[in-house]
Amino acid sequence: MQQATRIAPSILSADFAKLGAEVAAITEAGADMVHVDVMDGHFVPNITIGPSVVKALRPHSALPFDVHLMIAPVDLYIAAFAEAGADIISFHPEAGAHPHRTVQLIKSFGKKAGIVLNPHTPVEMIDYLIDDLDLILVMSVNPGFGGQSFIDSQLRKIETLRKRIDATGKRIDLEVDGGITLETAPRAVAAGADLLVAGTATFKGGPSAYAENIRRLKAV
């Protein structure tokens, strides 16, 4: 069953000179999770942060850290992010030869496991994995950079995944990341998403605007 809309601000759009304060501010403003985009300059054409930054940010919020690994090979870094304070670790099936093994590795550290589907990645990629997943993340842009426009074709993917998740009877978060605005958020939620990653839409206007930005996104 689809849950109430929750917001996971992506710190990719935060002020990197004040990351600790930014994480504390979105926590105070009503965010439900902190979304951490990890990019390696290899799997995606950008470089962001590593486990040491996640560890440094951990004391600034009690919210779950939703860590999205855009790195390959991915298995080598699962332990480091788990120990740094990630609560949910999601990865791309293209980033390793054995996605099922990666899911089990994440869970061996007591963390929730998620699969990320790029715009071109078919829904069938979750076959034989869905019963072990806690989260499915649909990329509604090509991964690597913030501020991109929402890819409309992903709405059909969200609808299909909503049906598959509901058929399991399990609580599996259906998250959407990319181009989330006040215009696209209602469409993603109508298609079945219950967790929205919002970078620019959360952080625009500075800390004094975060609470209203998050409230408006949740109101969809």
- Active site residues per annotation: 37, 177
Query: Phi and psi at residue 55, in whole multiples of 5°?
Result: -65, -40
Whether the CA torsion 149, 7, 69, 116 is positive or negative: it is: negative
User: Per the annotation, does 206 bind a ligand?
Assistant: no
User: Per the annotation, does 146 bind a ligand?
Assistant: yes
User: Per the annotation, does 35 bind a ligand?
Assistant: yes
User: Per the annotation, does 208 bind a ligand?
Assistant: no
User: Per the annotation, does 85 bind a ligand?
Assistant: no
User: Per the annotation, does 179 bind a ligand?
Assistant: yes
User: Per the annotation, does 37 bind a ligand?
Assistant: yes
User: Per the annotation, does 13 bind a ligand?
Assistant: no
User: Per the annotation, does 177 bind a ligand?
Assistant: yes
Contacts of 17 (CB under 8 A, 6+ apart): none
Distance between alpha carbon 83 and the CA centroid of its chain, in Å? 19
19-28 vs 207-218: helix crossing angle, rounded to 10:
50
User: Per the annotation, does 10 bind a ligand?
Assistant: yes
Cα–Cα distance, 118 to 95 (Å, whole number): 11
User: Per the annotation, does 144 bind a ligand?
Assistant: yes
Cα–Cα distance, 45 to 218 (Å, whole number): 31
Distance between alpha carbon 31 and the CA centroid of its chain, in Å? 13
Beta strands in 51-189 (DSSP E): 65-70, 88-91, 112-117, 135-139, 173-177
Annotated binding site for substrate, which residues? 10, 68, 144-147, 177-179, 199-200
Annotated binding site for a divalent metal cation, which residues? 35, 37, 68, 177
Annotated binding site, which residues? 10, 35, 37, 68, 144-147, 177-179, 199-200
